[in-house]
Amino acid sequence: MIFAKNKIVFGEIKNEEGNFLTNVNIVSMPSKVGTQSNEKGYFSLQIDPQDSLIQCSHVGYRIYYFDIKSFKNGSAIILKNKILAMDSLQVSAINQNEFQRFYAKNNVIEFNVEELSRKGYTDLGDVLFNEESILMNENIFGQKSMSVRASSNEELIYLFDGISLNNLGDPNLDLTLISSSGLSAIELVKGGHQKGLSSSGTINLVPRISYSNSLIFNQQFGTHNYGKYNFHGSLGNYYSSFNVGIGEGKSTQLYSDVAYPEIITFNKKKYSNIALKAKKNLEIRFMAQQNFKRYTNKRTRDSIYLNMENHILKLVHSNVKENIVKAYGIYQSYAGQDYVGSTVFQKDDTNIGYGFELLMPVKNGMISLLNQSNYPKADWYLNSTAVSVDRLASNITAVFESFHPKTNKEFQLKDVKLIYSHQKIVDRPYGNFVDPFFVDFAKNKWNLRSTFFSGSLLYKQDQNILMMYANIGNTFRVPSLSEIGFNYNHSYNSNGIPFQLRPEQKNTFEFGVKIEEVNQNPQKKYHGTISCFRYNYIDKIKHVYFSASPSYFPINAGDVGLKGFDSRFFYKTNMDWFLISQSFAYYIFDDPNAFPFQPEKIIRNKIQLNTKFFNIDLIYKIEGRRQITSINSDLSMIQNYIKPINNFDINLNRDFSMNGFEGSISLSGRNLKNISQELNGVSIYDRRFILNIMIGYR
């Protein structure tokens, strides 16, 4: 078929390893009508009858031209790398992904949010808990937080379009507050990298920015009076994109001694993602979220209210020399009140921040400079204690990466990377301040220098490519304002003088192996990663929790170590309808008390069956026993244990299309063995069923 006649050109775009390329710029010449490839590499373009040539371009790849008359619809276009090793930040100025699954020197897992939303997941915590070997902490107040490689909540890094969200006085992010309908993808990274040197894990939330028109409505119903809806709409063309969404939901929790819910959580979420593109590889994005949550416990009469807002302005530009500049500004607000028992805790956190990234390719290498500056303010009231503190947090990171020239050898050096980071933190009181012990100018001022080294080797054959990588680092994490505040309120020596929390130092040693099939046939695909690591902590910050309260008591637990390994494997059989994936993590603790809530092993096994009538997911979850140290009202220490998890889920979904509309309907069963876990008498993982209906127009 000749496309100049039907004026429609469509196909798919991949790289040399057979991976689909997202957001490739496709421009028809000379009319310059254009589009971009989607997350599956697919593109479709209506062209002018006078056009004769189409250009495909993506930063880091050679520009590809093809003749319209000789091109066959549905063909695959292969873009070739300009240099051998493209690492995590060397991506298109339009591409929003921060990490490459195979070439990043970390265990990287990518999730397609739209695909997962068809399977009835209730929130981001539900997605990550069921799909990956990470630890999901759900407390009795309906808050969900995540842990990777036994990290604390404060150690984890959350990014939104590559921009850090962990900037407030209390950096913990409740995953139930993030609207999944406003996201196109989630990237989970295990281990440290140049945007999170001291972190054991990172979550990058990729906002949904569609340069096309669409309407999507999603409704969920579930057991125990659960219900939620989300609406997403977009208007766009080649140069502009307007995306908005709103959603509301109600969820419940039960005490183990009753059959009806006494704990109710209500949330409301709004977001907007706006993007404008210029002809010269310039894109401006404005992204905003406004979320509200209310928690009520009818038995204890506890209640929690909070409002969270994030506003981000980001500029991305690249030129013909492949220099990339990213600059952003961010405003954050977190206001809330906790009424738990006899404790009243009011928070009013704000942050203003800015930053930039400069990526400059050099011969066989890349030089990067990253800056991040934040000015959080914490205005808190804890019972009779008023605390008002602001913080200056500045971080400058320099990265030099050398790529080995491409050769025809099967075994060759890929690259080496050196990272140096200088972090400056200064805390100071303002307004009505009570106790000067909280902020000591002689102690609450830190200038810390972190270093990180990584390198990788490639072994390439006709059908497979294997990469071995190593990471070595010496990094620091400064305690957050909330950690300092809780330590100040509860930590005193025998003379009545409060202990001062010290920064946590971490030495990293990691070795990993990745394998991936490079066969161009998309019907058979497999990839896998296994990583062994050891973290040695100096002045490890440990949290001791108060019984039946979200408050905790942080202390420096001394020098402790953690070692282990994690892996993830995916296999798609010759039978297109049968897929298998497995995720496994195993940890060995020098002192288990220094790593509260952490099990020794986490396993997720998943089988996908794509039949003629339904798509079926079978998920088998295993977790070891967890322990946590808590303090009673009489200050006595209690060791609490959460039972192991040995459960399975089932998702059934079917897609449909009719008269230009498309959608799906799914039924999900969670924890079908009905072996619930209890924390302070509240069942946090019980059996539930969810009906999910999604309909959309594109």
pLDDT tens digits for range 169-210: 888 888 888 888 889 889 999 999 999 999 999 999 999 988
Residue 236 CB: number of other CB atoms within 10 A? 18
So what's the pLDDT on residue 637? 67
Residue, of 463 and 220, whose pLDDT is higher = 220
Nearest to 372 by CA among 194, 550, 617: 194
Report the CATH number at residue 284: 2.40.170.20
- 499: pLDDT strictly greater than 70: no
Amino acid at 638: I
Task: For the chain, give the percent of residues with pLDDT over 90.
Answer: 35
Q: Which of 88-102, 247-261, 444-458, 470-484 has the lowest mean pLDDT?
A: 88-102
* Average of per-residue pLDDT across 394-413: 87
Q: Rg for the chain (alpha carbons), in Å?
A: 25
* Average of per-residue pLDDT across 329-334: 95
pLDDT band per the 50, 70, 90 thresholds, residue 655: confident
Residues 6+ apart with CB under 8 A from 40: 12, 20
Looking at 79, 104, 131, which one is the last position of a domain?
79
pLDDT band per the 50, 70, 90 thresholds, residue 5: very low
pLDDT tens digits for range 7-25: 788 889 988 777 888 888 8
Report the CATH number at residue 43: 2.60.40.10
pLDDT band per the 50, 70, 90 thresholds, residue 6: low
So what's the pLDDT on residue 440? 60
So what's the pLDDT on residue 679? 61
Q: Where are the beta strands (DSSP E) in 430-549?
A: 445-460, 464-477, 504-517, 525-538, 541-546
Residue, of 105 and 152, whose pLDDT is higher = 105
Amino acid at 246: I
Q: Which of 25-34, 83-92, 661-670, 680-689 has the lowest mean pLDDT?
A: 83-92
CA-to-CA distance for 283 and 299, rounded, in angstroms? Answer: 51
Answer yes or no: are the C-beta atoms of 313 and 354 closer than 8 Å: no
Instruction: Scan for tokens 């003749």, then name that residue.
Output: 67
Question: What pTM value is reported for the model?
Answer: 0.83
The angle subtended at Cα 135 by Cα 310 and Cα 186, nearest 5°, is: 45
CA-to-CA distance for 140 and 121, rounded, in angstroms? Answer: 20
Residue 18 within a domain? yes
So what's the pLDDT on residue 191? 92
Question: Tokens representing 658?
Answer: 């009719």
Residue 53 within a domain? yes
Looking at 19, 53, 79, which one is the last position of a domain?
79
Residue, of 138 and 556, whose pLDDT is higher = 556
Nearest to 320 by CA among 54, 98, 63: 63
Mean pLDDT score of the chain: 83
Element (H, E) at 336: strand 324-340
- 521: pLDDT strictly greater than 60: no
φ/ψ of residue 436, rounded to 5: -65, -15
- 568: pLDDT strictly greater than 70: yes
So what's the pLDDT on residue 433? 52
Residue 98 within a domain? no
For the chain, the domain total comes to 2
Nearest to 507 by CA among 531, 527, 533: 533
Task: For the chain, give the percent of residues with pLDDT over 70.
Answer: 87
- 62: pLDDT strictly greater than 80: no
Q: Which domain holds residue 35?
A: 3-79
* Average of per-residue pLDDT across 509-530: 80
| Exposed/middle/buried for residue 461 (C-beta within 10 Å: 0-12, 13-18, 19+) | exposed
Q: Which of 35-44, 250-259, 528-537, 612-621 has the highest mean pLDDT?
A: 528-537
Provide the H-helix boundaries in 583-625.
none
Residue 115 within a domain? no
So what's the pLDDT on residue 659? 78
Residue 231 within a domain? yes
pLDDT band per the 50, 70, 90 thresholds, residue 90: very low
Q: Which of 436-450, 487-501, 518-532, 583-597 has the lowest mean pLDDT?
A: 487-501
Residue 514 Cα distances to 465, 511, 587, angstroms: 8, 10, 20
Q: Which of 224-228, 520-524, 682-686 has the lowest mean pLDDT?
A: 520-524
CA-to-CA distance for 445 and 438, rounded, in angstroms? Answer: 13
Answer yes or no: are the C-beta atoms of 467 and 457 closer than 8 Å: yes
Residues 71 and 217 in one domain: no
- 639: pLDDT strictly greater than 80: no
So what's the pLDDT on residue 516? 87
- 315: pLDDT strictly greater than 90: yes
314 DSSP β-pair partners: 285, 328
pLDDT band per the 50, 70, 90 thresholds, residue 387: confident
pLDDT band per the 50, 70, 90 thresholds, residue 435: low
DSSP structure class, residue 617: E
Residue 81 CB: number of other CB atoms within 10 A? 15
Pair type for strands 464-477 and 445-460: antiparallel
Element (H, E) at 686: none
Element (H, E) at 113: helix 113-117
DSSP structure class, residue 488: H
Residue 116 within a domain? no
- 83: pLDDT strictly greater than 50: no
So what's the pLDDT on residue 346? 84
Nearest to 481 by CA among 566, 336, 380, 382: 380
Residue 100 within a domain? no
- 73: pLDDT strictly greater than 90: no
Q: Which of 69-73, 85-89, 382-386, 553-557 has the lowest mean pLDDT?
A: 85-89
CA-to-CA distance for 346 and 336, rounded, in angstroms? Answer: 6
Question: Tokens representing 337?
Answer: 């009140």
Provide the H-helix boundaries in 158-314.
none
Q: Which of 104-113, 403-412, 443-452, 474-483 has the lowest mean pLDDT?
A: 403-412
Element (H, E) at 264: strand 263-278
Q: Which of 433-442, 490-499, 506-515 has the lowest mean pLDDT?
A: 490-499
- 77: pLDDT strictly greater than 70: yes
pLDDT band per the 50, 70, 90 thresholds, residue 693: very high
So what's the pLDDT on residue 676? 65
So what's the pLDDT on residue 15? 83
Residues 6+ apart with CB under 8 A from 310: 160, 165, 287, 288, 289, 330, 331, 332
So what's the pLDDT on residue 437? 54
- 498: pLDDT strictly greater than 70: no
Looking at 79, 102, 129, which one is the last position of a domain?
79
| Exposed/middle/buried for residue 366 (C-beta within 10 Å: 0-12, 13-18, 19+) | buried
| Exposed/middle/buried for residue 257 (C-beta within 10 Å: 0-12, 13-18, 19+) | exposed
Answer yes or no: are the C-beta atoms of 323 and 309 closer than 8 Å: no
pLDDT band per the 50, 70, 90 thresholds, residue 323: confident
So what's the pLDDT on residue 314? 95
- 87: pLDDT strictly greater than 50: no
Residue 105 within a domain? no
